[in-house]
Structure 1
Amino acid sequence: MRSAFAVCLVFAGCCSNVIFLELLVRQHPGCGNIVTFAQFLFIAVEGFLFEVDLGRKRPAIPIRYYIVMVTMFFTVSVVNNYALNLNIAMPLHMIFRSGSLIANMILGIIILKKRYSVFKYASIALVSVGIFTCTFMSAKQVTSETSVRENDGFQAFAWWLLGIGALTFALLTSARMGIFQETLYKQFGKHPKEALFYNHALPLPGFIFLASDIYNHAVLFNKSELYPVPVLGVTMPIMWFYLLMNVITQYVCIRGVFILTTECTSLTVTLMVTLRKFVSLIFSIWYFQNPFTPWHWLGTLFVFLGTLLYSEVWNHLGATRLMPPKEDKKN
């Protein structure tokens, strides 16, 4: 039951979060730092009040482990958001991050010495082909469009390539963090609310290094047009409204993900998040009219089929719960 509830939180929160993120980056592509800071601050304050009892509750998992975890978590969040400022379109951003299924399995084999069924390897192959196709076609799109508009296609491609490198780094770091969480829960028990708080509270001092960028975007947000907030009957700059909604939906999303990490394996969580990303992707293309060629759709189809193949293996094995039987075996 908790797993089903967590899945609902993930799909509702994460899909709506992507909408408000795209509304933000369409106006100010470099606003990733202020978005990340607002998300971390909101979740940290909520956890300080309701989870750690104003700091009086001792953590069940030693702080030193949380420091390692939050270093990875902070890095992934900042790098992923900053990649949007490097010629990375939102659809490609979502597609590329769906490669976490591949990264998680590769690191599981290397670090945890896991072995998987032929069906899982086949599903990962499909996902890999799909991501490569979308990435390759996006590269051609970047160079062709910018060469006509600005006559600097090579420079635009270089920035795009840097963005792909940033996404790759974040992808591997995120997968490593998932495996690290899984091993911690086995050793100290499951504490999703506590992990949610420390993962967002401990990195807050790191935003000091991004303070000037955050301040500059706050000034830009203040200058945006006024928007009458429904129900509340107040008006506020529309960019601040988008940010507020992004923060709230991010909290719902991340809360669901952290519950899932206590109910399922790291690979299962990755699968659920991957499916959520493709629901968001389809809506983003339809609602925002993002450019998407038939080759992009083919790549998306490969990724989606690979993910479905992974789930169909569970159904073939007779799984009736959300969490699959632990068929993965160590050497």
Structure 2
Amino acid sequence: MHSALAVGLVFAGCCSNVVFLELLSRKFPGCGNIVTFAQFLFIAVEGFIFHADFGRRKRAVPIRYYIIMVTMFFTVSVVNNYALNLNISMPLHMIFRSGSLIANMVLGIIILKKRYSISKYLSIALVSVGIFICTLMSAQQVASHQPSPEEDGFAVFLWWLIGIAALTFALIVSARMGIFQETLYKEYGKHPKEALFYNHALPLPGFLLLAPDIYYHAVMFTQSEPYHVPVIGIQMPILWFYLLMNVITHYPLNSFYFTSLAAHI
């Protein structure tokens, strides 16, 4: 019962998270950096208060390993969100990221020398076919897109290819991060809450490199039309509301990822 409830909540959170992300990206396709920053900041603050006990709790895993993991996690998060600015549609973005199963299996075979059952190979093959079909249909849609006078049709398609390459790169790095985290859990024990906190807190200084873009979109969000939030009865710019809801629904997804990885080791 508890497992079913957890899966249901994560599924609902995932759907809600994607809805609010699409609402943001429709208005500002290049808003990935501010979305990523807000997600990281929220989880870092929550972890600093409730897990790290305002910095008083001692780490179970040496900080040098978290720095390696954080580099990969930060890269994956930024690249995934920025891909929406490269002519990648939201459905393709969602489906392509499900290819993490494929990347995990391939790297597991190469790095950890794992072997899987025939049924798992078959399942991965079916997922791969589905992703390929979706990508092919998206390519045809981009190729048939009628560019506006200021757009170059070839450039639009080229940016789409770069977006696909970015998503592929993020998949591989994400799978490698999972393997690295798995080895850490085996050596130092399972500490998913600690990993969740440090993976989001340590990268925060890196967003200084993206500060101009984040500030620009913050100004644009503030200038969006006002929205009356139901239940609590306050009014705020609608894009800030979308961002807030995206951040809130993003938290259980990341928490579930780190916890489920620990549970399967």
TM-score (norm 2): 0.96
Count how many residue pairs are aligned between Structure 1 and Structure 2: 265
Residue identity matched to 1:89: S
Residues of 1 paired with 2:13 and 2:202: CA distance? 23
Q: Counterparts of 1:175-186 in structure 2 under 5 Å?
A: 175-186=175-186
Percent identity between matched residues is: 75
Q: Is the 8 A contact 1:44 1:201 kept in 2?
A: yes
Residues of 1 paired with 2:193 and 2:8: CA distance? 17
Cα displacement (A) at 1:151: 6.4
Per-residue Cα deviation, 1:14-50 (whole angstroms, up to 9, x for no partner):
2211111111101110000000000000110111111
Aligned to 1:15: 15
Q: Counterparts of 1:163-178 in structure 2 under 5 Å?
A: 163-178=163-178
Cα displacement (A) at 1:82: 0.2
Q: Is the 8 A contact 1:7 1:260 kept in 2?
A: no
Give the secondary structure class of the aligned counterpart of 1:16.
Answer: helix
Residue identity matched to 1:130: G
Per-residue Cα deviation, 1:142-178 (whole angstroms, up to 9, x for no partner):
0111357766221100000000000000000011111
Q: Is the 8 A contact 1:39 1:251 kept in 2?
A: yes
Q: Does 1:93 align with 2:89?
A: no
Aligned to 1:153: 153
Cα displacement (A) at 1:10: 2.2
Aligned to 1:47: 47
Aligned to 2:246: 246
Q: Counterparts of 1:223-238 in structure 2 under 5 Å?
A: 223-238=223-238
CA gap of 1:22–1:162, structure 2 versus 1, over 3 A, is same
Residue identity matched to 1:259: T
Cα displacement (A) at 1:118: 1.5
Residues of 2 paired with 1:166 and 1:55: CA distance? 35
Q: Counterparts of 1:268-279 in structure 2 under 5 Å?
A: none
Residue identity matched to 2:131: I
Per-residue Cα deviation, 1:196-248 (whole angstroms, up to 9, x for no partner):
10000000000000000000000000110000111111100000000001111
Q: Counterparts of 1:32-111 in structure 2 under 5 Å?
A: 32-111=32-111
Residues of 2 paired with 1:71 and 1:7: CA distance? 29
CA-based RMSD of the aligned residues comes to 1.6
Aligned to 1:117: 117
Q: Does 1:256 align with 2:256?
A: yes
- Which of structure 1's runs of 4+ aligned residues deviate more than 4 A? 1-6, 147-151
Per-residue Cα deviation, 1:271-325 (whole angstroms, up to 9, x for no partner):
xxxxxxxxxxxxxxxxxxxxxxxxxxxxxxxxxxxxxxxxxxxxxxxxxxxxxxx
Aligned to 1:220: 220
Residue identity matched to 1:263: A
Q: Is the 8 A contact 1:33 1:78 kept in 2?
A: yes
Q: Counterparts of 1:193-204 in structure 2 under 5 Å?
A: 193-204=193-204
Q: Which one is further off, 36-45 or 148-157?
A: 148-157
Cα displacement (A) at 1:181: 1.2
Structure 1 unmatched runs, 5+: 266-331
Aligned to 1:287: none
CA gap of 1:240–1:188, structure 2 versus 1, over 3 A, is same
CA gap of 1:185–1:5, structure 2 versus 1, over 3 A, is farther
Residues of 1 paired with 2:2 and 2:191: CA distance? 14
Residues of 2 paired with 1:137 and 1:148: CA distance? 21
Per-residue Cα deviation, 1:109-134 (whole angstroms, up to 9, x for no partner):
00000011122112211111211111
Residues of 2 paired with 1:149 and 1:9: CA distance? 45
Q: Is the 8 A contact 1:3 1:263 kept in 2?
A: no
Aligned to 2:188: 188
Residues of 2 paired with 1:12 and 1:108: CA distance? 29
Residue identity matched to 2:243: L
Residues of 1 paired with 2:30 and 2:48: CA distance? 29
Q: Is the 8 A contact 1:9 1:255 kept in 2?
A: no
Q: Is the 8 A contact 1:99 1:131 kept in 2?
A: yes
Aligned to 1:205: 205
Aligned to 2:142: 142
CA gap of 1:143–1:19, structure 2 versus 1, over 3 A, is same
Q: Counterparts of 1:281-296 in structure 2 under 5 Å?
A: none
